[in-house]
Amino acid sequence: MKHKKVTKAVFPVAGLGTRFLPATKSIPKEIMTLVDRPLIQYAIDEARAAGIKEFIFVTSRGKSALEDYFDVAPELESALRKSGKDHLLEILKDTNMDSGAIAYIRQNRPQGLGHAVWCARRLIGDEPFAVLLPDDVIAAEKSCLQQMIEAYAETGGNMVAAMEVAPEKASSYGVLDIANDMGTIVEAKGMVEKPPLGTAPSNLAVIGRYILSPQVMINLNKIKQGVGGEIQLTDAIAEEIGKGKVYGYRFRGQRYDCGSKAGFLQATVAFGLARPDLREEFGAYLNDMVALQKAAQ
Ligand code: G1P
């Protein structure tokens, strides 16, 4: 291992989730479920599989359901134990965090992703760290962050997950300007947050998984508002180009944009079909639906 191990991860979960109103009026977006697991559980599982030991949540008002979700539930657990439902107790294990493994930091004003990440600066200190955006759910044989951590062990620097998107969609993402394309890994010579239509330097978009050097936190200290009047993480990473290296990593896996309704529904279908206990019944239903739709056309 040439580079310092990544053991801390930041989960920005302070957003209002307005795209999912009215649901998000009283539940955090990250608690919305794909089949029977909240979005945040997928991100935590991915981080755990990649060897993360400290989980830092950047939250805001109205997110207490998230804190409860990762706490013990003594009454529920004892009721399950009494009724012999050991398999359900087993399922709950994934939701438990050791004391001290999870920290909650408040972002008291919504000032953008960069600002949210910066809120965790004191807990990160002088170490490389991961950032996972729970809206981006990635189904993969080997977790996306694990793939990146293995690549980072060789490259060091800063690394962002990357994926080719349709050119007309590039303006919804951070986009890489490619200096050197080595296949799975690309070296960036620039990075633009949400470029106006037709101006993107490539169609290689940043997806919500990052491994960042502590220097990015220092950059965030002084960065000015970027696109949309927000403090952009992309801009703080882009400042590293030229000083250190910034890499894009083309991960193996299927990414779902669970920040959009269509993406959320697609993920629900994909994860439902991937479940052995649901596959048959759900698959048959979907086939019937498709047949009905075709017949109606
Ligand atoms: C954020 C980042 C953007 C990235 C995207 C991936 O944007 O700012 O660079 O491409 O996540 O999902 P958001 O979707 O929060 O607007």
Structure token digits, residue 206: 């940043």
* Cβ-proximal residues to 117 (8 Å cutoff; 6+ apart), any chain: 10, 12, 58, 131, 216, 217, 220, 233
Does 63 have pLDDT greater than 90? no
Could you give the percent of the chain with pLDDT greater than 90? 77
Mean pLDDT of 226-237: 93
User: Which position has the token pair 């882009």?
Assistant: 238
pLDDT greater than 80 at residue 4: yes
Nearest ligand 1 atom to alpha carbon 174: 9
What does the pLDDT read at residue 7?
Answer: 96
If one residue of 13, 20, 173 were mutated to test the ligand 1 pocket, choosing by the most ligand atoms within 8 A of its CB, it would be 173
- Nearest CA-CA partner of 194 in 158, 223, 232: 232
Task: Kindly give, in sequence order, each residue whose CB lies less than 8 Å from that of residue 96, ignoring residues fewer than 6 positions away.
Answer: 70, 72
Q: Whose CA is nearest to atom 10 of ligand 1?
A: 173
Containing H/E element for 285? helix 279-296
Tell which atom from ligand 1 comes closest to the C-alpha of 257: 12
pLDDT of residue 71: 84
Using 50, 70 and 90 to split pLDDT, how confident is the model at 37? very high
pLDDT exceeds cutoff 80 at 225: yes
* Torsion region of 158: left, alpha or beta (phi above 0 gives left; psi -120 to 50 gives alpha): beta
Task: Supply the pLDDT for residue 114.
Answer: 96
Substitution candidate for ligand 1 out of 18, 133, 191 with most atoms within 8 A of CB: 133
pLDDT reading at 90 higher than 70: yes
How far apart (Å, rounded) are the C-alpha atoms in residues 236 and 213? 11
Any idea which of 20-24, 145-149, 186-190 has the lowest mean pLDDT? Answer: 20-24
At residue 149, does pLDDT exceed 90?
yes
pLDDT at residue number 297: 80
Atom of ligand 1 nearest to the CA of 232: 8
pLDDT confidence tier of residue 6, bands split at 50, 70 and 90: very high
Q: Is the pLDDT of residue 2 over 80?
A: no
Residue 53 has what pLDDT?
A: 95
Output the pTM of the full model. Answer: 0.94
Per-residue confidence band for 1, with pLDDT thresholds at 50, 70 and 90 = low
Residue nearest to atom 6 of ligand 1 (CA): 207
Cis upstream peptide for 28 (omega within 30°): no
Q: In the structure, which protein residues have their CB atom closer than 6 angstroms to any atom of ligand 1?
A: 113, 133, 136, 173-174, 193, 205-208, 233-234, 259
Domain spans in the chain, listed from the N-terminal domain onward: 8-259, 262-297
Using the mean position of ligand 1's atoms as its centre, give its distance from the Cα of residue 174 in Å.
Answer: 6
Question: Is it the case that residue 152 has pLDDT exceeding 90?
Answer: yes
- DSSP track, the chain: --S----EEEEE-----GGGTTGGGTS-GGG-EETTEEHHHHHHHHHHHTT--EEEEEE-TT-HHHHHHTS--HHHHHHHHHTT-HHHHHHHHTT---TTTEEEEE--S---HHHHHHTTHHHHTTS-EEEE-TTEEEE-SS-HHHHHHHHHHHH-SEEEEEEE--GGGGGGSEEEEEEEE-SSEEEEEEEEESPPTT--S-SEEEEEEEEE-THHHHHHHHPPP-GGGS--HHHHHHTTBTTB-EEEEE-SSEEEETTSHHHHHHHHHHHHHT-TTTHHHHHHHHHHHHHHHHHH-
If you count them, how many residues does the chain have?
Answer: 297
Q: What pLDDT score does 272 carry?
A: 96
β-strand 185-193 against 129-132: which pairing, if any? unpaired
The fold adopted by the segment(s) 8-259 is Spore Coat Polysaccharide Biosynthesis Protein SpsA; Chain A (3.90.550)
- Supply the residue whose CA is at minimum distance from atom 15 of ligand 1: 113
Query: Ligand 1 center to residue 194 CA distance, Å?
Result: 8
| Contact status, residue 216 vs residue 231, Cβ threshold 8 Å | no
